[in-house]
Amino acid sequence: MLQDIIKIFFPYSLVAEVKPFGNGHINNTYKVDLQGEKESYILQQINTDVFKDPQGIADTYSRLQDVIFKAKQPITIAKLIPTSDGKNIYIDDKDGAWRMTSFIDNSYTIDVVEEDWQAFEAGRAFGWFAKACDKLDANTFKESIKDFHRLSFRLRQLNEAIEADKAGRLESVQDVVDFYKKREASLSAIENLVDEGKIPLRVVHNDTKINNLLFRGEKAAAVIDLDTVGPGILYYDYGDALRTSASTAEEDEKDLSKVHFNIESFRAFTNGYLGKVKTIVEEQEENLFYQAPILMTYIMGIRFLADYLNGDVYYKTAHKEHNIDRSRVQLRLIESMENQVEQMKEIISDALNAVVIE
């Protein structure tokens, strides 16, 4: 079956090996090696329950490539490999959607930051990506998942999950529900700014988890997982990246005493990110960077919680507590961020006043 799909892209090659690859929660990812070829490839089956318009995603990817590959860049994205008849995605007869890209060689991903340079590089890479996308007009792109980072939408989904309690798990996680419910009203500032058109809508990544970045040696080499690229704001990418880039633990750590928001990683990431984007940051965008990590960690926390209550229908899970473990880690991170808000504000202000990174 996979062999047949690979033939659509490489009709004249024989497959040497194809094996599952990576730690993504959404798509099915395989590393492909062809006989007699040094280069490897990444084949992905796009999760069409999540991404309803795979052709739209592929078209966005093509447009992004056109901008990014134009000039020599310090960081890259994987190159889309077309089908033998020139299409940027293959839709099979059961509506499965398949995409081939180049494999970024000699690279690795990080799940937990252990040294400051890793957080700095993550900031520099996602900042580079935001700047590269600055040439694109956000109004000509569509969200690949509607209302993806809209807090009110995510809260509505959580409320529906609580109401239905489909998996009968509500009672056992009432403490987690209470934690998130208590903060519901305090996090609407960023959504209001977006709705009032007070900060610029840009083309952003929208899924800047640290393992959506490939490192080579001690440098960030490529930004990957571009399925969610589309309209958004800088705060989404900055905040979501810090959720993992400044956490001292895995996203699904069971021992919550290990989970902290590390202010030194925060500083390193912020210096890398703002050092890159500050030439495009507008004055009205400067004020709420400090709220972004809390908001984005909150959104991921309630999405994991809702999925747990719904019986694990969205994210890939390895065991039955997986989604609630993830939600509890986000909860711990939020508490840790709340205790360090004043330092976060100072670090952001210093970074916005420091030199630009080229």
Which is nearest to 227 in space by CA: 67, 28, 35, 73? 28
Stretch that binds ligand ADP, among 17-25, 181-189, 273-281, 320-328 (CB under 6 A): 17-25
Q: How many helices (H) and strands (E) does the chain have?
A: 11, 10
Q: How far apart are CA 241 and CA 129, in angstroms?
A: 13
Q: Which of 11, 16, 23, 115 binds ligand ADP (CB under 6 A)?
A: 23
Binding to ligand ADP (CB under 6 A): which residues in 222-281? Answer: 224-225, 227
Quick check: 107 binds ligand ADP (CB under 6 A)?
yes
Scored b (16 or more CB within 10 A) or e, 199-219 reads: beebbbbbbbbbbbbbbeeee
Identity of the residue, 106 or 284, whose beta carbon is nearer to ligand ADP in the bound complex: 106
Quick check: 42 binds ligand ADP (CB under 6 A)?
yes
Q: Which two three-digit tokens encode residue 341?
A: 């808000």
In sequence order, the 6+-apart residues with CB closer than 8 A to the CB of 283 are: none
DSSP 267: H
Quick check: 45 binds ligand ADP (CB under 6 A)?
no
Q: Which of 9, 51, 90, 103 binds ligand ADP (CB under 6 A)?
A: 103
As a three-state string, the secondary structure of 289-356 is HHHHHHHHHHHHHHHHHHHHHCCCCCCCCCCCCHHHHHHHHHHHHHHHHHCCHHHHHHHHHHHHHCCC
Quick check: 227 binds Mg ion (CB under 5 A)?
no
Q: Which of 15, 18, 22, 188 binds ligand ADP (CB under 6 A)?
A: 22
Quick check: 212 binds ligand ADP (CB under 6 A)?
yes
Q: Which of 5, 6, 26, 177 binds ligand ADP (CB under 6 A)?
A: 26
Three-state DSSP at 40 gives: strand
Q: How far is the CB of 282 from ligand GN1 (least distance, A)?
A: 26
Identity of the residue, 29 or 159, whose beta carbon is nearer to ligand ADP in the bound complex: 29
Binding residues for ligand GN1, rule: CB under 6 A, are 24-26, 50, 207, 209, 212, 225, 228, 251, 300
Quick check: 212 binds Mg ion (CB under 5 A)?
yes
Pairing of strands 219-223, 202-204: unpaired
In sequence order, the 6+-apart residues with CB closer than 8 A to the CB of 321 are: none
- The item of Mg ion, ligand GN1, ligand ADP, none sharing an interface with residue 265, based on CB under 5 to 8 Å by kind, is none
Do residues 92 and 5 lie in contact, with contact meaning Cβ atoms separated by under 8 Å? yes
Q: How far apart are CA 26 and CA 99, in angstroms?
A: 14
Identity of the residue, 33 or 143, whose beta carbon is nearer to ligand GN1 in the bound complex: 143
Q: How far is CA 6 from the centre of its chain?
A: 27
Stretch that binds ligand ADP, among 16-24, 188-196, 331-339, 347-355 (CB under 6 A): 16-24
Quick check: 230 binds Mg ion (CB under 5 A)?
no
- The item of Mg ion, ligand GN1, ligand ADP, none sharing an interface with residue 104, based on CB under 5 to 8 Å by kind, is ligand ADP
- The item of Mg ion, ligand ADP, ligand GN1, none sharing an interface with residue 300, based on CB under 5 to 8 Å by kind, is ligand GN1
Quick check: 48 binds ligand ADP (CB under 6 A)?
no
Residues that bind ligand ADP (CB under 6 A): 21-27, 29, 42, 78, 101, 103-104, 107, 109, 211-212, 214, 224-225, 227
